[in-house]
Each structure stands twice: as structure tokens, then as C-alpha cells.
Amino acid sequence: MRIAYFVHDLTDPAVARRVRMLKAGGAEVVLLGFRREPAAPAEVAGVKPVDLGRTYDARLGHRAALTALNALGAARLRRHLAGCEVVMARMLETLAVAAAARRMSGHGGRLVYECLDVHRLMLGEGAKSRVMRAAERALLRAADLLVVSSPAFLGEYFTPRQGVGREIPVESLLVENKVLELDPADEAAPQPPPAPGPPWRIGWLGAIRCRRSLAILTDLAARRPDLVEVRIHGRPAYTEFDDFDAQVAALPNLRFGGGYVAADLPRLYGEVHFAWAIDFMEAGLNSSWLLPNRLYEASRCGAVPVALDGVETGRYLARRGFGLRLNDPAELEAALDRLTPEAYAALRREVARVPREAFVAGPGDCRRLVETLAGRGVSDAFSQPTRDLARNGVSEPEHIHGEAV
């Protein structure tokens, strides 16, 4: 099967992982997308991409203008859609381009909307927010399938705010942010943790974009060098911080290790006791609803996730009975102060008892995903119609498979 995949950032490592999953599922992928770097990559997971132009963090006006320009000129993309059974768009900005290209080319294939975050602009009551929601609703009416990475996106936004499953009868698919392991060489063998005891090491890996998280961790590291060390790895969103580099350089027990590749994860998580899985960037909204990559990656590698009760990540941990769950981040210091090596060993055993399938997607998941995107089995065990998820409270996603995003 041939899939045209429109993406918001060709340079995002998560895009490469999704392309790998589609290819492993038997699809030929045509990749088109924007980029956040000065130049487009020559290839993404073995696929030569079609560059739609450069966008920038926090410059929504520029992104909207470039999206409109590409949508209006989408007829030039028709040759790339030739022979595609599915046109899939990652995030709203590329859905507008994908839908226009599909329409202008007279394409009869399925349109799939993959939404992995709900931006705060979509949730306001101002004119811009209402216009954006109306545009998304119009595009959803043309879509055949909605893919989300957390059940809370359906229960908190798409069903109550956008009418998905009611006024808009589009089917939905939950694809969790699981680690993708296609063969034994991919398998992330957990490594032994550092010796249990203070200073307890906390790892914060992935998309580093939460100002409050950085403030919490730097404050604790500054006050209690005897109690904690912090290791940060990933891609900082510099627009979200006053001076990220200066903040992390100020403390000897807080280190920033830069970017990494998937093969580094067992080592990086093997160097820490805990994984920071708390996010306040859009508290009460997207940050309360998402299930982040680091939740699955850390758990697969044996590190103990730290999360808040009352948000979707905390509910995920509570359902499965593992992790360090806090009512408030201010509780972290006291929790670590009273933590004994024996109690930490018990936390590690709880992680180890969770079935591997909770954190990992394999070749069978890839095949089921591609078949579901094509409309061959939307109601099987891989997915569940939106109306059923909404009726059931969208609370138990264990039977739904996923991949690393």
C-alpha cells in the first residue's frame, strides 16, 4: 500500500519513527512536510522527503501563512499522491495542506488526521481560537479517521469540544507513544541503575519545553545537592526559556547532555534512578491530557517515572500500579528524603512487572496500523470507534496498541 504522509517537521525524530512503522507495516511512504531546521534532511528513515518550507517555534502567524500558501498551491503536489490509498497528515497545519492536495488531485483515497497535541490556541474563547476550531471541524468532516496518542484528547477535547463521534461521525484510533522495536537489534535491554541512594538521579529526556519543570528541578538541585542530581538530554525549545543554557550551567549537579538517538536510551536511562514525566507547559489543558514519549521509553528501560496524580500520565501509572506519583511537585523533596534503597528496589520491581507490550510496539502492531489506516479492520482489537471510547469514559486503553512517537 502507498501512503502520502504530510508532517509538521521533517527534522523531528518522531517523524522518522512513524515512517519506520508505516514501512514495517508494508506501506510505501511518500513523505511531504515542513521543517524547523535551515535545510531539509536528504532522507528520513530511508525516504526522500518533499520539502514544503521552513517554519519556526512560537511563530504561529508565519506557520499559518506558509500553510495557506501550500494549501492554495496544493495542485503542484498531485503527482506525489498518485497511487496512494491513504493521505495522512500529522497535526492540523499539514491536514489543511493534505486535504487541499487530495481535493485538487481528485484523489479518492482515505484522509487520516493524526493529532498528537492540542495547542492552547485551539482551546481559547477569542476570535482566533474560534476560527481555528471551526477550520479543524471542517477538515474533520472530510476525514475518514482521527488518530490520537492519548485517550484524554478524545474525552477532553475532540468529543466534547469538536463533536467527534456525535456531530462528526469520524472513526478514531488510539496509537500510544510506545517504543518501536522491529527486531532483536532494536530491543532496549534495561541496564542496571546506579547504586540506590542519595543523591538520587532524575533524568529529563525528550522535548525540553517546560519552563516550570526546569525551575522546579534547578531549585531542588541548588538547595539539595546532597539529595538530587539532574540529567537533561534532548531538544530544548529555547523560545520557552529565559536563558536555558545559563540555567543548566549554573549548577554542578545539573547537566545538559544535548541530543541523542534512540540507541542511546538504554544507557541514558540506565544512568538515572527516576524519569521526569511532568509537564506544565499547558497545565490543565494539553499537558494534563498527553501521554509523553518519555513515559514509555523510561519504563521500557527500567527507570521509575515521576508523574502527577490527576493528569493522564498519573492515571496511566495508577492503572498499572507503578511509578512515583505526586499530588504536587513540592512533595518530591520529602519523598526522596524518606526513600530507602529497599523502597527504591520495590519501585523498580513494579516497573519490571508490567508486561513488555505496555511499552513496546512490534512488527504486528505496524501491520495492524497500516491495515487500519487503509480501512481494513477499523473495528478490530487494534482500534475502537470514537463513540465507544466516549461512552466508556475513554479510560482503559490497554487493548489498543501503539508506537513510539
The reported pLDDT for the residue numbered 339 is 98
8 Å CB contact between 35 and 57: no
Is omega for the bond preceding 305 within 30 degrees of 0, making it cis? no
Q: How many helices (H) and strands (E) does the chain have?
A: 15, 17
Is omega for the bond preceding 199 within 30 degrees of 0, making it cis? yes
- Rounded-to-integer distance, Cα 88 and Cα 37, Å: 22
8 Å CB contact between 213 and 202: no
8 Å CB contact between 132 and 301: no
- Rounded-to-integer distance, Cα 155 and Cα 395, Å: 9
- Rounded-to-integer distance, Cα 379 and Cα 173, Å: 9
Residue range 22-34, pLDDT digits in tens: 999 999 999 999 9
> How many CA atoms, within 13 angstroms, populate the side-chain half-sphere of residue 14?
22
- Rounded-to-integer distance, Cα 89 and Cα 96, Å: 8
8 Å CB contact between 268 and 191: no
Segments in the chain below pLDDT 70: 58, 186, 188-189, 377-405
The reported pLDDT for the residue numbered 65 is 80
Torsion of CA 211, 216, 221, 224, to 10 degrees: 170
In sequence order, what are the beta bridge partners of 4?
A: 30, 87
User: Which three cell numbers, joined as nine digits, stand for 105?
Assistant: 488531485
8 Å CB contact between 343 and 375: no
In the DSSP assignment, the letter for residue 51 is E
Q: Domains along the chain?
A: 2-182+362-403 (3.40.50.2000), 184-358 (3.40.50.2000)
Residue range 363-390, pLDDT digits in tens: 999 999 999 999 986 443 334 433 333 3
The reported pLDDT for the residue numbered 384 is 41
8 Å CB contact between 40 and 58: no
- Rounded-to-integer distance, Cα 57 and Cα 34, Å: 12
3-state helix, strand, coil in the chain (%, to 5): 40, 20, 40
State whether residue 149 is helix, strand or coil.
coil
